[in-house]
Amino acid sequence: MAEYRRGAHTVFEIHLYIVFTTKYRKPALSGEVATRVRDLVREICAQHEVKIMKGHVAKDPVHLFVSIPPQVTISRLLQWLKGKTAHHL
Q: Determine, yes or no, domain membership for 3.
A: no
**CATH number of the domain encompassing residue 51:** 3.30.70.1290
**How does pLDDT run along the chain (89 residues), one tens digit per residue?**
567 888 888 888 999 999 999 888 889 899 999 999 999 999 999 999 999 999 999 998 999 999 999 999 999 999 999 999 989 98
Task: Quote the pTM value.
Answer: 0.86
Q: Is 6 within the bounds of a domain? A: no
Please compute, for residue 85, the number of CA atoms within 13 A of its CA located in the half-sphere on the CB side: 25
- Residue-range definition of the domain harbouring residue 68: 14-88
In a domain, 4, yes or no: no
Phi, psi at 78, each rounded to 5°: -65, -35
Q: Rounded CA gap, 28 and 74, in Å?
A: 25
